[in-house]
Amino acid sequence: MSTAVTVSSMSTYAILGCGSVGHAVADELTDEGKDVLILDRDESRVEALRDQDLNAQVQDIAEQGVVEAVADRDVILILSSDVDANKEAVRAIREHGSDQYVVVRASDPVSEDELADLGADVVINPSTVIADSALRSLESGELEYKARQLADILRATTGKLAILAHDNPDPDSIAAAVALKAIAAEYDVEADILYDGEIGHQENRAFVNTLGIELHARDDARPLAEYGALALVDYAETGGNDIDADVDVYIDHDEPETVIDAAFTDIRKNVSATSTILTKYLQEFDLSPGETVATALLYGIRAETVDFKRDTTPADLTAAAYLHPFANHDTLEDVESPSMSPETLDVLAEAIQNREVHGSHLISNAGFVRDREALAQAAQQLLNLEGITTSAVFGIAEDTITLAARSKDIRINIGNVLRDGFSDVGEAAGHSKQGTAEIPLGLFTGIETTESNRDTLLQLSEEAVRKKLFDAMGVESSAGSGSSEPSNGS
């Protein structure tokens, strides 16, 4: 038979000061069969505690005698409302050289710091605990209320639901759409997941293909107005200006650039992934996610937080922990390790060679490209360089200058930077961490595109894009093009 014993089963407890808080803790511990000693200076209170068969003694916790009284106790909970007395008790216990585990009650942030400095292991401020509990209850109640609203919309939906992800959708947007489709199915509502643009990133293609996710290009589907209802998920990056139908559901972790008028809206900027929000809805609807849904949502959270290394919140972590046992981790490994296409490799090599760095900002020209998504991948890779907090890579695809930017600098919103720099000559979209811009080449340079002037257009666009982007970032660009730091072999 094992002789291992848990710390909690070995511990003996002392509660110093038995007002309402101390009494509640004493009741809980004794109900669990713990050995609890209560010390309080109020004789009548001690008598009342003894009448309840509690082990209570009269003792002023601010006096030195408290050390001897609790000498045989492993855990000491100092819960008096008299913070000065609590300080004296902590000081006496620690000056005696005791290594007992001490939990103490504070009254405000100042006394929290003072008690910690005196050697308390844990300091509790009841006001903070109550506030945290109230906020958790509020959040839980709000989610319950929102879930009822969403359920009402799904029950009222006749015909198919269109779920529109943002343009050139990423894993978070796709996964959120997949989860909403699963929720709709519980209300006997069929759904189509639609998108504009293309799924260009090889990881995103692997994600969709490996999980067998059914997506429809918006151009190949019926008009949005012909669906029974319309939902936008993770759509802030796109903006919503091209929606030609009433929006019934809008769910996102970021504010859209323009207000989207929807019958049901849930925007939570306190999480980093829309997949986190949809995971909470699955839990609220008491729906165990299937393997595909769980794997998609877990990958969506991991991709959006760069494997929990960027802007990760407790809600993202708890959502991921909930999804973990339901997900297929072999599939996740396959999705996260796709081969890099030769085109992407060429774009990345060109972007590395042509980079220009000012402080923590990097801009590079990848030249003429066929795969616009490769620019986004290059921008993400260059963001990993030491000392770089913002990266932007642009190139010419057909008759358009396409720019992709990434940032981990909390002081700037890269989506706004691109809008400030290029909305007067093209289209720009994005949010705090990433953004894109597309500028008609002829409009930008004033020269019609021909095969013979491609190199000239590339040079003109390079100089103009660098200047406008550095200006929008508040950085002075060096004259001409080329890297401001040496490249290997150059």
Q: How confident is the model over 57-105, as pLDDT tens digits?
A: 999 999 989 999 999 999 999 999 899 999 999 999 999 887 889 999 9
Rounded CA-CA distance 26/37 in Å is: 9
The residue with greater pLDDT, 259 or 341, is 259
Instruction: Please name every residue paired with 477 in a beta bridge, in sequence order, or none if there are none.
Output: none
CA proximity to 393, closest of 466, 318, 476, 311:
466
319 has pLDDT over 60: yes
Nearest to 379 by CA among 348, 423, 410, 337: 348
Distance of CA 418 to the CA centre of its chain: 23
Q: Residues 168-227: pLDDT tens digits?
A: 888 999 999 999 999 999 999 999 999 988 876 777 778 888 888 999 999 889 999 999
Q: What is the pTM of this model?
A: 0.61
- The whole-number pLDDT of residue 481 equals 39
Cβ–Cβ under 8 Å, residues 117 and 93: no
Which residues lie below 8 Å from residue 56, measured CB to CB, with a gap of 6+? 18, 37, 38, 39, 40, 45, 46, 49, 50
Structure tokens at 465: 């894009």
Q: What pLDDT score does 2 carry?
A: 39
Best mean pLDDT range from 336-345, 400-409, 477-486? 400-409
What does the pLDDT read at residue 51? 92
Q: Tell me how far apart the alpha carbons of residues 7 and 12 are, in angstroms, rounded to a whole number.
A: 10
Position 445 confidence tier, pLDDT thresholds 50, 70, 90 = low
Render 227-288 in DSSP notation, one character per residue.
Answer: SSEEEEES-TTT-STT--S-EEEEEESS--SS---EEEEEE-TTSS-HHHHHHHHHHHTT-P
**How far apart (Å, rounded) are the C-alpha atoms in residues 412 and 420?**
12
The C-alpha angle with vertex 309 and arms to 311 and 485, in degrees rounded to 5, equals 100
Per-residue pLDDT averaged across 107-121, rounded?
Answer: 92
Between strands 161-164 and 122-124, the pairing is unpaired
